Amino acid sequence: MSDAGHPCLQCERPLSIEHVSCPHCGFALGNGEAPEAWMGEVIDHKYEIEELLGAGGMGMVFRARRARLGDEVALKILFPHFLKSPLQRRLFQDEAIATAQLSHPNVIVIYDADIDPTHQVAYMAMELLQGQTFKDLMLAEAPMAPAALYPIFMEVCDGLSAAHEVGIVHRDLKPDNLFLADAGGGRRVTKVLDFGIATVAGALKEDESNKLLGTLRYMSPEQCRGEACGPAADLYALGVILYEALTRQRATGKTVEAILYEETPPLNERLPADKQVPVDLEGLVMELLRKDAEARPRSALEVRRRLKALADPFAQLNDAPPQAPFGARADARAHLAASALGAPPPPPLRSPARAPAGPLAEGDPVAQPAPTPVVDRAPPPPRATLLIASALCIFAVAVSYFIFR
């Protein structure tokens, strides 16, 4: 067998088949077997492994075929050495439970999860997606135009909102975990993947799961401090991803200290004049990156609403409830005025009926306007009469003054 039997799953440098960890980057390779060693294996008598799709910090993902149904799934296998850690076993199980609870088009579907006693590995069977990760798209196209990002991140917010509503925090949101899945007809749908270190909000702060877990580049300051994390941690990671997609530059330094104390430069300071982004978008991203979790937007739903307003400036106008017709508004003002004066309200105004639109067949009835009622009114007095009456009143007052003085 060749000394360069396979590349490292993380740094892609060649490795010997006997390596149990990469000598270049230290990436653990599970039980020391190359990914090719898993080909043809049947996991838990259910899933026959056919092809390696990728790998992450906790395990490998294969294309597999279900023995009974004959269809294909994505099969995630936890690296065997993680089974020695109760925390890692629990996190893997939490991922399955947490994601299975979410029935949402923007979250990957989980079919099955268990531990295979024969191979001594934990596994998870998921829907098999076709498409690309957002990381691949970002590497190819960043700095990206805001218009290309709005629909993607509105769907990410929908998926996160569904998770947050049931108390689930992702805690490891990053471009690798956002998948742009082909939906047919040239359409794509964004899926949030890998709730690998998801935690149920409200767990005890002393819980071991609050240790430094996640990908440092996308970790929030509170995560770096080892504090219990809420939805605001996911929103911070969302801000980091947006910042990188818009600028092709890191939002923070490469150390915990940088994340905790260094201020991120505003987006437009890092962009040339022809790549400047809208001020409201810049403001939203910088709010997501605030060090104080309480100062970030309140929810993924709020972020989605603001992204939608940026994508379609007229959306809020279109979503506003229709105003009452003029006659109804006039009626309302008349009723308020009458109420203030203690008078009975006037009868409501009525708009004349309109003929139906479009051509009419011969003999079709046509709505006629209601006749205007005729009211007998006395003619107004002429202007000269008013002047004479006023003069007589003044004369009478003067005479009275001289008589009774």
> Taking the CA of residue 326 as centre, how many other CA atoms within 13 Å lie in the half-sphere pointing to its CB?
2
Residue-level pLDDT at 229: 87
Q: Give the Cα separation of 143 and 246 in Å (integer).
A: 5
Enter the DSSP assignment of 143. Answer: S
Long-range contacts of 47-55 (CB under 8 A, 24+ apart): 47/73, 47/75, 47/123, 47/125, 49/75, 54/9, 55/9, 55/10
Residue-level pLDDT at 326: 42
> Taking the CA of residue 289 as centre, how many other CA atoms within 13 Å lie in the half-sphere pointing to its CB?
26
> Taking the CA of residue 185 as centre, how many other CA atoms within 13 Å lie in the half-sphere pointing to its CB?
2
C-beta separation of 224 from 260 below 8 A: yes
pLDDT(56) > 70 = no
Q: Give the Cα separation of 358 and 290 in Å (integer).
A: 58
Which helix (H) or strand (E) segment holds residue 234: the answer is helix 231-247
- Backbone phi and psi for residue 115, each to the nearest 5 degrees, phi listed first: -115, 125
CA 384 vs CA 225, 234, 392: distances in Å: 91, 83, 13
C-beta separation of 218 from 204 below 8 A: no
Known active-site residue 274: no
Mean pLDDT (the chain) is 77
Confidence of residue 93 (pLDDT cuts 50, 70, 90): confident
The better pLDDT of the pair 31, 276 is held by 276
Residue pLDDT, tens place only, 64-86: 999 888 899 999 887 776 666 67
Confidence of residue 235 (pLDDT cuts 50, 70, 90): very high
Residues shown for the chain:
405
The better pLDDT of the pair 64, 403 is held by 64
Residue-level pLDDT at 38: 83
pLDDT(206) > 50 = no
pTM of the predicted model as reported, rounded to 2 decimal places: 0.67
The mean pLDDT value for 166-188 works out to 92
In the chain, % helix, strand, coil (3-state, to 5) comes to 40, 15, 45
In CATH, what is the architecture of 130-319? Orthogonal Bundle (1.10)
pLDDT(24) > 90 = no
Confidence of residue 325 (pLDDT cuts 50, 70, 90): very low
Q: Give the Cα separation of 159 and 102 in Å (integer).
A: 9
What are the structural domain ranges in the chain? 130-319
Of 43-52, 233-242, 250-259, 365-374, the least confident: 365-374
Residue-level pLDDT at 330: 43
The better pLDDT of the pair 295, 29 is held by 295
Residue-level pLDDT at 129: 93
Torsion of the alpha carbons at 175, 178, 179 and 180, rounded to the nearest 10:
-90
Q: Give the Cα separation of 154 and 334 in Å (integer).
A: 45
Residue-level pLDDT at 337: 43
Radius of gyration of the chain (CA): 35
Confidence of residue 315 (pLDDT cuts 50, 70, 90): low
Residue-level pLDDT at 119: 81
Most confident of 50-54, 177-181, 347-351: 177-181
Q: Other CB atoms closer than 10 Å to residue 302's CB: what's the count?
A: 16
Residue-level pLDDT at 122: 84
The better pLDDT of the pair 364, 223 is held by 223
Token pair for 30: 């599970």
The better pLDDT of the pair 248, 372 is held by 248
Residue type, 359: P
Of residues 94, 158, 172, 234, which has the active-site annotation? 172
